[in-house]
Chain A
């Protein structure tokens, strides 16, 4: 019987079994950022330990970075102290740090792939749940907590327990105006926010094979919102073409050898899956959330469900969500006024996201009264977007063009909602208070749909706002 990529990567990295029955798993690549690492370095110091393999460890700063004025010291002394701590810790331990202004700083899950650090067949860990993003390359990538960050720093290993694998097929062709973000919101809507507990998600099928790498990253990025800690796509020619020539990609003779090795990790045709789920691409609409978790979503031309249409166990959370969001059961989601539009985050702040929005946004204006922000995923993305004229299109439309970082997605920097403002957001979480105001409201959608909401001043169908032909 064949094996899945997950099993192959696991076996290639299992150092030994621990007494508890867990595996000790070697981690090829460890990514750090400023929020979840300082305590880990503190623990390391208390234990008198060093970073075991600094050449496998890379750091950047993203969560707390102001996107407006990055002059140091930052206005927020706590944010400044976190940046200083990361500088100090990486210097002391000989870790490569992509600092502000280096040209390579950005959201950790944007820069890893962009630099070619993320490669197929790897195990990757980072103290951030969206580490699942790197699975787009056929890596097994774990979001971990701070004690585990310490474990990886000290030993380059994790104590881990093997998951089951669910294959999720998306077959067919996505309709115009429908993106990877809609696909993953559709999957979570149908399988639920707890549906992935105990599973790694392997995404495949003709629609996924046709996706570019950045779309695959968006898909894998939100695996965690579906309850799956891991999401991945098998490596193929699209993967290799993306990686070729990147700063940290293998070069010369090593390149051919790497491709041969990477290909060998792909799931075998006769691999066994614990579960298989198939969706038809043509049936996936532009999808937006209406509630307080990413599974509470509807098609853009749909209505918020009536309570009696929901399974009984979902009703209490639905009632809570409606009260929080100020929405009514049965209400169309289109037409709900928005005060803020945010394009950014590790889900959707890559160059292809910005290019696609700019292509349609040109000549449109953000509705008066809407605060619209674009926060590119990295310094590299920002620079390219400036060079290509994308930044200018956003500015002319009335968007604020900001410096790279996580920004409003979780609002650890000065960008945040005020009061009960409602944001159309390309980020990944619509939890209560997620965007920095305890009463702030988030509606998740694709970047193009955020642009449509900004232009319309309300939740709108991008296909109508931008005249995208659906037939």
Chain B
């Protein structure tokens, strides 16, 4: 049985910038691997480290944000490649949810399927959250998928997330494989009915 993901509470890292693509989240050279293990250390590698491997100024290198479990982003986060390595790297670096303005489709699906909720706030609420966290990195933030709100300081902001994804997360059905397998014989009927490519030369 999968974990029911209902409430995530923790500190947040503010990561500014629109249209942050999956190549930036995890550069392609780190995909030369047969498993997802160890990907957390390469999260945003080229933004965090110079060509000699020395740390650069970056929120993820900032001691004030160490141990945070929420990632704050802007619009168009996760655009580009379908690489699940991107949300895997985020999850394996210790993040439990992402709060932003909008997410690329494939990234959103990949993240949901590994139990990493991506929720959106209105631009006003998101701006307020960014400011609050930048002012006070120790601020506690709550993402409540049952009440459909993000709470921080004395503010309560309604969050948005497509209902099927929310359902799947709160019911512990976010990895759909179990339910997909239940279709059983129904699948064979589709396999018989739908043509498939056959070679003949």
Contact = CB atoms under 8 A, between A and B. Distances in A.
Chain A bound to chain B: yes
Interface of A: 12-13, 15-16, 18-22, 24, 26, 28-29, 35-36, 38-39, 42, 47, 49, 52-53, 55-56, 58, 64, 76, 78-79, 81-82, 85, 115-117, 119, 127-129, 131, 143-148, 150-151, 154-159, 161, 193-194, 197-198, 224-225, 227, 229, 247-251, 258, 293, 313-314, 316-317, 320, 410-412, 429, 431-434, 436, 438-439
Contact of B179 (A19, A55, A429): A19
Contacts of A438: 27, 46, 51
B183 A24 contact: yes
A129 B33 contact: no
B29 to A, nearest CB: 7
15 contacts: A13-B190, A15-B190, A18-B173, A20-B164, A20-B173, A55-B196, A76-B32, A144-B109, A145-B83, A145-B110, A147-B110, A155-B183, A316-B17, A429-B81, A431-B23
Given A18-B176, A131-B82, A145-B84, 13 more contacts: A16-B183, A18-B164, A29-B196, A36-B82, A39-B84, A128-B81, A128-B82, A147-B114, A148-B113, A316-B16, A412-B28, A433-B23, A438-B27
B134 interface: no
Interface string B28-71: 11011111100000000010000100000000000000000000
Contacts of B87: 145
Nearest to A159: B176
Contact of A39 (B24, B35, B162, B165): B35
A47 B114 CA distance: 15
Nearest 10 Cβ contacts at the A-B interface: A145-B110, A145-B84, A248-B197, A159-B176, A438-B46, A21-B164, A129-B82, A146-B84, A78-B32, A20-B164
Contacts of B21: 293, 429, 431
Given A28-B194, A145-B110, A248 B199 contact: yes
Contact of A78 (B16, B33, B201): B33
B106 interface: yes
Interface stretch (B7-15, B72-80, B139-147, B152-160): B72-80
B135 interface: no
Tell me the dominant secondary structure on chain B's binding face.
loop
Contacts of B109: 144-145, 148
Interface of B: 16-19, 21, 23-24, 27-29, 31-36, 46, 51, 75-76, 79-85, 87, 102, 104-106, 109-110, 113-114, 162-165, 167-168, 171, 173, 175-177, 179-181, 183, 186-187, 190-191, 194-201
B35 A42 contact: yes
Contacts of A320: 17
A432 B177 contact: no
B32 A82 contact: yes
Contacts of B18: 313-314, 316-317
Contact of A429 (B23, B85, B181): B23
A219 B194 CA distance: 27
B28 A157 contact: no
Nearest to A144: B82
Contacts of A227: 76, 79, 104-105
B190 to A, nearest CB: 4
Given A21-B163, A155-B183, A64 B24 contact: no
Contacts of B171: 19-20
Contact of A85 (B34, B75, B180): B34
B176 A151 contact: yes
Contacts of A150: 177
A102 to B, nearest CB: 12
Given A39-B36, A78-B32, A154 B195 contact: no
Nearest to A112: B197
A16 B176 CA distance: 13
Nearest to B184: A155
Contact of A194 (B35, B102, B162, B197): B102
A56 B196 contact: yes
A24 B180 contact: yes
A426 B86 CA distance: 25
Contacts of B163: 21
A127 B86 CA distance: 13
A43 to B, nearest CB: 8
A15 B195 CA distance: 15
Nearest to B51: A438
Contacts of B23: 410, 429, 431-434
Contacts of A248: 197-199
Contacts of A12: 194
A161 B162 contact: yes
A258 B180 contact: no
Contacts of B46: 432-433, 438
B186 A15 contact: yes
B79 A293 contact: yes
A284 to B, nearest CB: 23
